[in-house]
Amino acid sequence: MMIVASLIGSIANGQTLYVDATNSNDKANGSREAPFASLEKAITHASRFSGDKAITIKVAPGLYSLKSKLLITFSKSHQSSVPVTIEAMLLPDDTAWTPQKMPIIQSISDNNNDPNKKFPHCVGLLIAANNVTIKGLKFLGNANPAVQYYYPIKKEDTTYSGLKIEQCYFVGDKNGTPIQGAVWVHGPETSVKHCIFYGCKNALLLFRGIKGFSFTNSIVYGAYEAAVWFGPFDAPFIFRDNIISGCNFFWLRAEDTYPAYIFSNSYIGGNKNYMGVYRKAGEAIVSPDSNIIEKGINKSGSIILNEVALEGIKKGYLHLSPKSEGYNIPAGIF
Protein backbone atom coordinates (compact mmCIF):
# COMPACT_ATOMS: atom_id res chain seq x y z
CA MET A 1 0.00 0.00 0.00
CA MET A 2 2.82 2.44 0.84
CA ILE A 3 4.44 1.82 -2.58
CA VAL A 4 1.17 2.47 -4.42
CA ALA A 5 0.50 5.62 -2.39
CA SER A 6 4.01 6.87 -3.07
CA LEU A 7 3.62 6.29 -6.81
CA ILE A 8 0.26 8.07 -6.96
CA GLY A 9 1.77 10.95 -5.01
CA SER A 10 4.62 11.29 -7.47
CA ILE A 11 2.17 11.33 -10.38
CA ALA A 12 0.14 14.06 -8.70
CA ASN A 13 3.25 16.13 -8.09
CA GLY A 14 4.24 15.91 -11.72
CA GLN A 15 0.57 16.36 -12.73
CA THR A 16 1.05 14.39 -15.94
CA LEU A 17 -1.30 11.50 -16.66
CA TYR A 18 -1.29 8.91 -19.45
CA VAL A 19 -4.20 7.23 -21.23
CA ASP A 20 -4.13 4.18 -23.49
CA ALA A 21 -7.46 2.74 -24.66
CA THR A 22 -5.85 -0.33 -26.24
CA ASN A 23 -3.32 -1.59 -23.72
CA SER A 24 -4.56 -0.70 -20.24
CA ASN A 25 -7.52 -0.42 -17.86
CA ASP A 26 -9.02 2.13 -15.50
CA LYS A 27 -7.73 0.29 -12.43
CA ALA A 28 -4.24 1.49 -13.33
CA ASN A 29 -2.71 4.59 -11.75
CA GLY A 30 -2.28 6.84 -14.77
CA SER A 31 1.51 6.68 -14.96
CA ARG A 32 3.44 6.17 -18.20
CA GLU A 33 3.96 2.53 -17.20
CA ALA A 34 0.33 1.98 -16.12
CA PRO A 35 -1.92 4.38 -18.04
CA PHE A 36 -5.65 4.75 -17.60
CA ALA A 37 -7.82 3.27 -20.35
CA SER A 38 -10.37 6.08 -20.65
CA LEU A 39 -10.34 9.84 -20.92
CA GLU A 40 -13.14 9.94 -18.36
CA LYS A 41 -10.91 8.34 -15.74
CA ALA A 42 -7.99 10.63 -16.54
CA ILE A 43 -10.13 13.78 -16.31
CA THR A 44 -11.74 12.62 -13.06
CA HIS A 45 -8.29 12.01 -11.59
CA ALA A 46 -6.87 15.28 -12.90
CA SER A 47 -9.81 17.29 -11.60
CA ARG A 48 -8.55 16.69 -8.06
CA PHE A 49 -5.13 18.20 -8.74
CA SER A 50 -4.33 21.42 -6.92
CA GLY A 51 -1.62 24.05 -6.83
CA ASP A 52 0.19 25.92 -9.56
CA LYS A 53 1.72 23.13 -11.66
CA ALA A 54 0.61 22.55 -15.22
CA ILE A 55 -1.62 19.57 -15.91
CA THR A 56 -0.97 17.37 -18.94
CA ILE A 57 -2.91 14.35 -20.17
CA LYS A 58 -1.04 12.31 -22.79
CA VAL A 59 -3.28 10.22 -25.05
CA ALA A 60 -1.95 7.13 -26.81
CA PRO A 61 -3.15 5.95 -30.23
CA GLY A 62 -6.54 4.26 -30.14
CA LEU A 63 -10.30 4.78 -30.26
CA TYR A 64 -11.82 6.65 -27.31
CA SER A 65 -15.60 6.32 -27.13
CA LEU A 66 -17.41 8.89 -25.01
CA LYS A 67 -20.52 7.40 -23.42
CA SER A 68 -21.48 10.73 -21.90
CA LYS A 69 -20.42 14.36 -21.87
CA LEU A 70 -16.81 14.76 -20.72
CA LEU A 71 -16.62 17.78 -18.42
CA ILE A 72 -13.18 19.40 -18.31
CA THR A 73 -13.09 21.13 -14.94
CA PHE A 74 -10.82 21.30 -11.90
CA SER A 75 -10.90 21.77 -8.13
CA LYS A 76 -11.15 25.20 -6.56
CA SER A 77 -7.64 24.74 -5.18
CA HIS A 78 -6.23 24.48 -8.71
CA GLN A 79 -4.82 27.80 -9.87
CA SER A 80 -7.10 29.11 -12.63
CA SER A 81 -4.17 30.50 -14.63
CA VAL A 82 -2.29 27.19 -14.82
CA PRO A 83 -2.32 25.59 -18.30
CA VAL A 84 -4.13 22.30 -18.88
CA THR A 85 -3.19 20.24 -21.94
CA ILE A 86 -4.90 17.19 -23.45
CA GLU A 87 -2.67 16.01 -26.27
CA ALA A 88 -1.70 13.03 -28.36
CA MET A 89 1.28 11.01 -27.25
CA LEU A 90 2.66 11.48 -30.77
CA LEU A 91 1.97 14.84 -32.38
CA PRO A 92 1.73 15.34 -36.16
CA ASP A 93 5.15 17.02 -36.30
CA ASP A 94 6.88 14.05 -34.64
CA THR A 95 8.91 11.99 -37.12
CA ALA A 96 7.25 8.72 -35.99
CA TRP A 97 3.71 10.09 -36.48
CA THR A 98 1.31 8.47 -38.94
CA PRO A 99 -2.46 8.97 -39.27
CA GLN A 100 -2.98 5.55 -37.67
CA LYS A 101 -1.25 6.80 -34.51
CA MET A 102 -3.66 9.70 -34.02
CA PRO A 103 -6.05 9.19 -31.07
CA ILE A 104 -9.68 9.16 -32.25
CA ILE A 105 -12.43 10.69 -30.11
CA GLN A 106 -15.98 9.62 -30.93
CA SER A 107 -19.10 10.24 -28.90
CA ILE A 108 -21.68 7.46 -28.80
CA SER A 109 -23.74 9.29 -26.19
CA ASP A 110 -27.41 10.14 -26.37
CA ASN A 111 -28.36 13.81 -25.94
CA ASN A 112 -26.53 14.98 -22.83
CA ASN A 113 -27.08 18.74 -22.65
CA ASP A 114 -28.62 20.66 -19.76
CA PRO A 115 -32.36 19.81 -20.02
CA ASN A 116 -33.19 23.47 -19.35
CA LYS A 117 -31.57 24.51 -22.63
CA LYS A 118 -33.67 25.27 -25.68
CA PHE A 119 -32.92 22.18 -27.76
CA PRO A 120 -31.63 18.67 -27.08
CA HIS A 121 -28.09 18.06 -28.25
CA CYS A 122 -24.95 16.08 -27.51
CA VAL A 123 -21.57 17.45 -26.41
CA GLY A 124 -18.26 15.60 -26.50
CA LEU A 125 -15.84 17.73 -24.43
CA LEU A 126 -17.38 20.52 -22.34
CA ILE A 127 -14.68 23.01 -21.37
CA ALA A 128 -15.21 24.59 -17.95
CA ALA A 129 -11.70 25.79 -17.12
CA ASN A 130 -9.18 28.42 -18.17
CA ASN A 131 -6.18 27.88 -20.44
CA VAL A 132 -7.13 24.48 -21.85
CA THR A 133 -5.21 23.20 -24.89
CA ILE A 134 -6.48 20.30 -27.02
CA LYS A 135 -3.82 19.09 -29.41
CA GLY A 136 -3.24 16.33 -31.95
CA LEU A 137 -6.61 14.55 -31.65
CA LYS A 138 -9.07 13.41 -34.31
CA PHE A 139 -12.78 13.94 -33.65
CA LEU A 140 -15.41 11.94 -35.53
CA GLY A 141 -19.16 12.51 -35.60
CA ASN A 142 -21.83 10.84 -33.48
CA ALA A 143 -23.73 7.94 -35.09
CA ASN A 144 -26.28 7.61 -32.25
CA PRO A 145 -29.66 7.84 -34.05
CA ALA A 146 -31.19 9.77 -31.12
CA VAL A 147 -28.75 12.65 -31.65
CA GLN A 148 -29.47 15.32 -34.24
CA TYR A 149 -27.00 17.96 -33.05
CA TYR A 150 -23.50 16.92 -32.01
CA TYR A 151 -20.73 19.28 -30.91
CA PRO A 152 -17.33 17.63 -30.24
CA ILE A 153 -15.94 20.66 -28.32
CA LYS A 154 -18.07 23.21 -26.50
CA LYS A 155 -17.26 26.04 -24.06
CA GLU A 156 -20.45 27.53 -22.69
CA ASP A 157 -19.40 29.77 -19.79
CA THR A 158 -18.07 33.16 -20.92
CA THR A 159 -16.01 33.56 -17.74
CA TYR A 160 -13.48 30.98 -18.94
CA SER A 161 -10.79 32.01 -21.41
CA GLY A 162 -7.66 30.76 -23.12
CA LEU A 163 -9.00 27.76 -25.09
CA LYS A 164 -6.51 26.53 -27.71
CA ILE A 165 -7.31 23.87 -30.30
CA GLU A 166 -4.32 22.81 -32.36
CA GLN A 167 -3.40 20.15 -34.93
CA CYS A 168 -6.78 18.41 -34.73
CA TYR A 169 -9.00 16.79 -37.34
CA PHE A 170 -12.79 17.11 -37.23
CA VAL A 171 -14.34 14.68 -39.72
CA GLY A 172 -18.09 14.42 -40.11
CA ASP A 173 -20.35 12.48 -42.43
CA LYS A 174 -23.85 13.94 -42.75
CA ASN A 175 -25.18 10.56 -43.88
CA GLY A 176 -23.69 8.54 -41.04
CA THR A 177 -21.76 10.33 -38.29
CA PRO A 178 -22.75 14.00 -38.47
CA ILE A 179 -21.10 16.94 -36.72
CA GLN A 180 -23.46 19.89 -36.30
CA GLY A 181 -20.69 22.24 -35.15
CA ALA A 182 -17.11 21.12 -34.56
CA VAL A 183 -16.19 23.91 -32.12
CA TRP A 184 -18.93 25.84 -30.31
CA VAL A 185 -17.54 28.41 -27.89
CA HIS A 186 -18.50 31.53 -25.99
CA GLY A 187 -16.14 33.88 -24.19
CA PRO A 188 -12.72 35.41 -24.84
CA GLU A 189 -9.31 34.27 -26.06
CA THR A 190 -10.11 31.25 -28.23
CA SER A 191 -7.40 30.16 -30.67
CA VAL A 192 -7.82 27.57 -33.44
CA LYS A 193 -4.79 26.78 -35.58
CA HIS A 194 -3.45 24.03 -37.81
CA CYS A 195 -6.77 22.14 -37.80
CA ILE A 196 -8.80 20.46 -40.55
CA PHE A 197 -12.60 20.51 -40.64
CA TYR A 198 -14.00 18.12 -43.24
CA GLY A 199 -17.69 17.43 -43.86
CA CYS A 200 -18.88 19.22 -40.71
CA LYS A 201 -22.18 21.08 -41.05
CA ASN A 202 -20.45 24.02 -39.38
CA ALA A 203 -16.81 24.33 -38.38
CA LEU A 204 -16.80 27.20 -35.86
CA LEU A 205 -19.71 28.62 -33.87
CA LEU A 206 -18.75 31.71 -31.85
CA PHE A 207 -21.45 33.79 -30.22
CA ARG A 208 -21.39 35.47 -26.79
CA GLY A 209 -18.47 37.45 -25.40
CA ILE A 210 -16.13 36.90 -28.33
CA LYS A 211 -12.83 38.74 -27.86
CA GLY A 212 -9.24 37.95 -28.79
CA PHE A 213 -10.27 35.24 -31.28
CA SER A 214 -7.70 33.73 -33.64
CA PHE A 215 -8.25 31.33 -36.56
CA THR A 216 -5.12 30.46 -38.53
CA ASN A 217 -3.41 27.81 -40.72
CA SER A 218 -6.55 25.68 -41.02
CA ILE A 219 -8.66 24.01 -43.70
CA VAL A 220 -12.47 24.00 -43.78
CA TYR A 221 -13.94 21.92 -46.57
CA GLY A 222 -17.55 20.92 -47.22
CA ALA A 223 -19.30 22.82 -44.41
CA TYR A 224 -22.85 22.38 -45.66
CA GLU A 225 -24.21 25.24 -43.56
CA ALA A 226 -21.29 27.58 -42.87
CA ALA A 227 -17.58 27.57 -42.14
CA VAL A 228 -17.96 30.22 -39.41
CA TRP A 229 -20.89 31.66 -37.43
CA PHE A 230 -19.75 34.82 -35.67
CA GLY A 231 -21.56 36.86 -33.03
CA PRO A 232 -20.91 40.37 -31.72
CA PHE A 233 -17.30 40.91 -30.64
CA ASP A 234 -15.42 43.56 -28.68
CA ALA A 235 -12.02 43.66 -30.38
CA PRO A 236 -10.24 42.75 -33.62
CA PHE A 237 -9.64 39.08 -34.37
CA ILE A 238 -7.01 37.27 -36.44
CA PHE A 239 -7.94 35.34 -39.59
CA ARG A 240 -5.03 34.31 -41.82
CA ASP A 241 -3.43 31.41 -43.72
CA ASN A 242 -6.71 29.48 -44.06
CA ILE A 243 -8.36 27.45 -46.82
CA ILE A 244 -12.18 27.69 -46.97
CA SER A 245 -13.88 25.83 -49.82
CA GLY A 246 -16.89 23.71 -50.74
CA CYS A 247 -19.08 25.42 -48.14
CA ASN A 248 -22.63 26.77 -48.31
CA PHE A 249 -21.61 30.01 -46.56
CA PHE A 250 -18.09 31.12 -45.77
CA TRP A 251 -19.14 33.48 -42.96
CA LEU A 252 -22.38 34.23 -41.10
CA ARG A 253 -22.78 37.22 -38.80
CA ALA A 254 -25.51 37.91 -36.27
CA GLU A 255 -28.50 39.96 -37.33
CA ASP A 256 -28.32 43.65 -36.36
CA THR A 257 -24.53 43.58 -36.00
CA TYR A 258 -22.26 45.35 -38.47
CA PRO A 259 -18.68 44.50 -37.54
CA ALA A 260 -15.58 45.17 -39.62
CA TYR A 261 -13.66 42.10 -40.75
CA ILE A 262 -10.06 41.62 -41.87
CA PHE A 263 -9.24 38.42 -43.76
CA SER A 264 -5.58 37.81 -44.68
CA ASN A 265 -3.45 35.52 -46.86
CA SER A 266 -6.11 32.86 -47.45
CA TYR A 267 -7.97 31.00 -50.16
CA ILE A 268 -11.74 31.53 -49.87
CA GLY A 269 -13.26 30.13 -53.03
CA GLY A 270 -15.60 27.52 -54.42
CA ASN A 271 -18.28 28.31 -51.82
CA LYS A 272 -21.95 28.78 -52.68
CA ASN A 273 -22.15 32.04 -50.70
CA TYR A 274 -19.52 34.37 -49.29
CA MET A 275 -21.07 36.45 -46.48
CA GLY A 276 -24.46 36.02 -44.85
CA VAL A 277 -26.61 36.89 -41.84
CA TYR A 278 -28.21 34.47 -39.40
CA ARG A 279 -31.53 35.96 -38.44
CA LYS A 280 -33.35 35.74 -35.13
CA ALA A 281 -36.13 33.90 -36.93
CA GLY A 282 -33.70 31.04 -37.48
CA GLU A 283 -32.73 31.41 -41.12
CA ALA A 284 -29.54 32.39 -42.90
CA ILE A 285 -29.66 34.83 -45.81
CA VAL A 286 -27.06 36.23 -48.18
CA SER A 287 -25.76 39.64 -47.15
CA PRO A 288 -22.92 41.30 -49.06
CA ASP A 289 -21.08 43.30 -46.39
CA SER A 290 -19.03 46.39 -47.11
CA ASN A 291 -17.00 46.37 -43.87
CA ILE A 292 -14.52 43.79 -45.14
CA ILE A 293 -10.80 44.28 -45.67
CA GLU A 294 -9.19 41.54 -47.74
CA LYS A 295 -5.40 41.23 -47.72
CA GLY A 296 -4.04 38.61 -50.07
CA ILE A 297 -7.33 36.72 -50.50
CA ASN A 298 -7.51 34.32 -53.46
CA LYS A 299 -10.97 33.33 -54.75
CA SER A 300 -10.02 31.90 -58.15
CA GLY A 301 -9.25 28.37 -59.24
CA SER A 302 -10.31 25.31 -57.26
CA ILE A 303 -9.17 23.22 -54.33
CA ILE A 304 -7.88 19.65 -54.71
CA LEU A 305 -7.60 17.64 -51.50
CA ASN A 306 -5.62 14.49 -50.85
CA GLU A 307 -8.68 12.37 -50.06
CA VAL A 308 -8.52 8.70 -49.11
CA ALA A 309 -8.25 6.43 -52.16
CA LEU A 310 -7.59 2.73 -52.85
CA GLU A 311 -4.24 2.80 -51.08
CA GLY A 312 -5.83 4.00 -47.83
CA ILE A 313 -4.95 6.88 -45.55
CA LYS A 314 -1.65 8.58 -46.28
CA LYS A 315 0.21 11.02 -44.06
CA GLY A 316 -1.01 14.16 -45.80
CA TYR A 317 -4.64 13.18 -46.23
CA LEU A 318 -7.19 16.00 -46.41
CA HIS A 319 -4.36 18.45 -47.05
CA LEU A 320 -4.01 20.27 -50.36
CA SER A 321 -2.58 18.47 -53.35
CA PRO A 322 0.48 20.11 -54.92
CA LYS A 323 -1.77 20.67 -57.96
CA SER A 324 -4.32 22.62 -55.90
CA GLU A 325 -4.95 26.32 -55.84
CA GLY A 326 -3.76 27.74 -52.52
CA TYR A 327 -1.04 25.11 -52.08
CA ASN A 328 1.41 27.85 -51.09
CA ILE A 329 -0.69 28.74 -48.01
CA PRO A 330 0.64 27.04 -44.85
CA ALA A 331 -2.65 25.41 -43.85
CA GLY A 332 -3.04 21.92 -42.38
CA ILE A 333 -2.18 20.01 -39.24
CA PHE A 334 1.61 20.04 -39.73
Spatial contact of 72 and 84, defined as CB atoms under 8 Å apart: yes
pLDDT tens per residue, range 168-181: 999 999 999 999 99
The answer to whether the CB of 318 falls within 8 A of the CB of 324 is no
Confidence of residue 4 (pLDDT cuts 50, 70, 90): very low
pTM attached to this predicted model? 0.93
* Distance, C-alpha 73 to centroid of its chain: 17
pLDDT (tens digit per residue) in 192-209: 999 999 999 999 999 999
Q: 3-state SS of 157-223?
A: CCCCCCEEEECCEEECECCCECCCCCEEECCECEEEECCEEECCCEEEEECCCEECCEEECCEEECC
Share the mean pLDDT of the chain: 91
CB distance 256 to 287 below 8 Å: no
**Contact of 195 with 333, CB cutoff 8 Å:** yes
List residues bridging with 193 in a β-sheet: 166, 216
Query: Cα(264)–Cα(289) distance, rounded to whole angstroms?
Result: 17
**pLDDT value at position 63?**
97
Band of residue 3 on the pLDDT scale cut at 50, 70, 90? very low
- Count CB neighbours of 36 within 10 A: 26
